[in-house]
Structure 1
Amino acid sequence: MKYLKFTKLKNWEYWPAYMFYVPLLPYALYLALRAKNMVFFSAVNPAIVHSGNGSESKFKTLELIPESFRPTSIFIKAHESFNTVAQLIQKNNLKYPLIIKPDIGFRGLLVKKLDTEAALQTYLNKNNYIDLIIQEYVDYSNECGIFYHRMPNETKGKITSITLKKYLTVTGDGKATLFQLIQQNKRAKNYMDVIKNLHFKDFDMVLKNGEKKIISTIGNHSKGTQFINGNYLIDKKLEKAIDAIFKRIPQVYYGRIDMKYESFEHLIQLKDFKIIELNGIIAEPTHIYDSVNGSYLQALKEICIHWKLLYKIALINHSQNQIPFDKISDFIKSVLKIKKHTKLIKQQSLSI
């Protein structure tokens, strides 16, 4: 255990969020003073509540995306009964496996793949105290996050980040048990607490020589997924395709779309992909967490670059499009609300 703590301390990829943002607070204050408003960024994405600061409904935000670009999803109100949820699943022609997650939340908290109706019932018994989303499981081969922005007074936008996601995977040798393979895997053993909840019953399984097993198909860093810098894939054809998507999402100028896709060749043609989530101003250019191809200081620089884009978009929206800034008191209330909500779901996140 002490070794794992040292490993995470040594590798900045695992450092807590405040290590990436506290050092940049002076720059954030500088931008606020220039904008003459402490919550200037609230004018960036008028279509999303508070421009997407994390307190917004994921379901309502997802509905901004054209139906053909997103998976079938249903909203589950807090304290909904299992029977009602089962009927909604049937009514929407959803089949297992399914993805379930909080309607408000981030960093993979309480996100789970459900393989059976029994798994759904177990999940609801523990977690139906909050609003939830049930989503069709998208079975495309790959997952990525694409960060996009467009100035409100321009017709074309830019991709500033592509994050390729490599699911946590182990490879069998015909001898070692799954538990032993996880212990031998440098990355997997850092996520043992998460893995125990997913595969405890399978720990004695012996994989065939060369057989691969994906430990988690949830493309979140907190679930063990490795983030890989895919910025080399940015080109005019891809930007044209992502432009076409965002032009069908009115009044969203800045954010990251997380999507599952078959290939970038198909994505450029707007084929064989689904957007599983749209994140607003709270979104990160997650390629920065590729510790193999980047550094901590480069990560901080990228965050500053994106904050400068926030500043530019907000001021154009405010001065030219008459988009008002939020009241500071309202914005602070929303932040306090999400902090309280996150604390609540964190208490359950390791028990699902």
Structure 2
Amino acid sequence: MGRGKDEHEPLSFFEFWPGWLFYTPIVAYWIAMGVRYRDFGMPTAANPLISTGGLCGESKSSILDMAGPIARQFIAPWVVLDTDTNDLARAQAALAAAGISLPVVVKPDIGCNGTGVKLARTTDALALTLAEFPRGVRLVLQRLIPWEHEAGLFYIRHPQEDCGQITSLTYKDVPALTGDGRSTVAELLDADPRTRLLPHIYRPRLADRLNDVLPKGQTLPLVFTGNHCKGAIFRNGAADITPALTDVLNRILRDIPEFHFGRIDVKFRSESALREGKDFEIIEINGVGSEATHIWDAHTTLREAYAAQFHHYGEAFRIGAKNRARGWKSTSLPAGIRQWREQKRLLRSYPQND
């Protein structure tokens, strides 16, 4: 089922399978667990104060709003803006009131996989970015975290436990091209062992630069958002899960009421600092719909990927059942489907991410 990886191979053989193909066994597992627990929506009770437990259609800002004073110290400051008229003026006023200066990251409040996430470094860029979104959409404007490194930390804590555990740590690397003074961007993409295999991911975002020749030594980042499906490269960082990092994450997430299961995306200064639980800021907090993203490391076998998926979704069912016993309710199937459809509608309306 799985197979080993040569360290020089640029991606795993299942890394970019069609979603229906990779996730069919996971859907089957979910159905089997739903029959066992007599509730197909049981995982939505894992984080009972988050809409659908964070499975789909949840508001990013509402999760951040739940953070207490300890957790807020670690979250990059943000404001929300509902697109309408005079967006730029209202955005500037909200940012000024929160003490946030440009550059900022603009992202949809309801979304996934980095869809619609844009970076605005200047006032003109912010105005253009806001105009790209449809009217009546809620956006999150968040201060750009200056550290370049990004990671996803998966956290699980059962309701009866005082301390949870980090079950996955994934480093998210941004691929970049380095100019040689002769080759065009298109030629550099074709020469790179990874990007040449994934033209549908990298080329559309660089459509207006494909014929540019990068000066020798100049680098061109290929993606801004740390999302696998948008082109970021994921590395398994499990060896860097330490008691110090776990202790800090516990203190943060215990300060978010009834948060038990999900992935925390952070930017950090260095891997050594992260191991010590220092010098990192939280971008966002994701619930039941998030993955332990180390499965997309090119060295992960298919067997290991499915084992990780089954373990994490099994935990979501078990935590949901424990919360149901405490009096919390899961999201009904019709309500969940409505939120999923609304999220899909919104995703189609967002501009291409940076």
1:59 paired residue number: 61
Match of 2:22 among 16, 20, 30: 20
Q: 1:91 aligns with which of 78, 97, 106?
A: 97
Partner of 2:253: 246
Which residues of 2 match residues 282-301 of structure 1 at below 5 A? 282-291=289-298, 293-301=299-307
Structure 1 equivalent of residue 127 of structure 2: 121
In 1, the alpha carbon distance for the partners of 2:100 and 2:210 equals 27
**Counterpart amino acid of 1:311?**
F
Alignment of 1:236-315 (within 5 A): 236-291=243-298, 293-315=299-321
Moved over 4 A (4+): 7-10, 191-196
Alpha-carbon contact 2:185-2:209 (below 8 Å) kept: no
One-letter identity of the residue aligned with 2:90: T
Aligned to 1:158: 165
Equivalent residue, structure 2, for 1:3: none
What is the correspondence of 1:75-114 to structure 2 with a 5 Å cutoff?
75-81=80-86, 82-114=88-120
Name the aligned partner's letter for residue 61 of structure 2: F
Query: For the residues of structure 2 that align with 1:26 and 1:251, how far apart are their CA atoms?
Result: 28
For the residue of structure 2 that corresponds to 1:13, the secondary structure is coil
Query: Does 2:332 correspond to 1:327?
Result: yes
Amino acid at match of 1:52: G
**2:208 partner SS:** helix
Inter-CA distance 80–183: structure 2 relative to 1 (3 Å threshold): farther
Partners of 2:222 and 2:26 lie apart in 1 by: 35
Query: With structure 2 as the length reference, what TM-score do the two structures score?
Result: 0.88
Describe the SS at the equivalent of 2:349: helix
SS of aligned partner of 1:75? strand
How does 1:180-219 map onto structure 2 within 5 Å? 180-189=187-196, 190-191=198-199, 194-197=202-205, 200-201=208-209, 203-209=211-217, 211-219=218-226
Equivalent position of 1:4 in the other structure: none
Distance in 2, Cα, partners of 1:188 & 1:64:
39
CA distance in structure 1 between the aligned counterparts of 2:18 and 2:221, rounded to whole angstroms: 26
Is 1:70 aligned to residue 75 of structure 2? yes
Change (3 A) 1:158 1:88: same
Contact 2:166 2:246 survives alignment (8 Å): yes
1:245 is paired with a residue whose SS is helix
Closer, same or farther: CA 61–53 of 1 in aligned 2, 3 Å: same
1:270 Cα deviation (Å)? 4.2
Distance 1:224 1:273, change over 3 A: same
Number of positions where the alignment pairs a residue of Structure 1 with one of Structure 2: 340
> Structure 1 regions of 5+ residues with no counterpart?
1-6
Quote the Cα distance in structure 2 between the aligned partners of 1:122 and 1:59.
Answer: 22
Greater shift in the superposed pair: 104-113 or 62-71: 62-71
Q: Secondary structure at the residue paired with 2:47?
A: coil
Q: Provide the identity percentage.
A: 28
Moved more, 256-265 or 211-220: 211-220
- What's the CA shift string for 1:132-182, capped at 9, x where partnerless? 111111011310000010111111211111110110112233432444323
Contact kept? 2:195, 2:202, Cα under 8 Å:
no
Which residue identity lines up with residue 83 of structure 2 in the other structure? Answer: A
Query: Which structure 2 segments of 5+ residues have no match?
Result: 1-8
Question: Letter of the aligned partner of 2:349 in structure 1?
Answer: L
Residue 154 of structure 2 is matched in structure 1 by 147
Higher RCO (C-alpha 8 Å, min separation 6): 2
Name the one with the larger helix percent: 1
Contact kept in structure 2, 1:241 and 1:267, CA below 8 Å: no
Greater displacement, 249-258 / 188-197: 188-197
Name 1:340's counterpart in structure 2.
345
Q: Are residues 16 and 215 of structure 1, via their aligned partners in 2, closer, same or farther at CA, if it must alter by over 3 Å?
A: same
Please name the residue that 2:4 is paired with. none
| TM-score when normalising by structure 1 | 0.88
Offset of residue 297 of structure 1: 3.0
**CA distance 1:124–1:194, change in 2 (3 Å):** farther
- Cα RMSD, aligned residues only: 2.5
Q: In the TM superposition, what are the counterparts of 1:26-65 in structure 2 within 5 Å?
A: 26-65=28-67
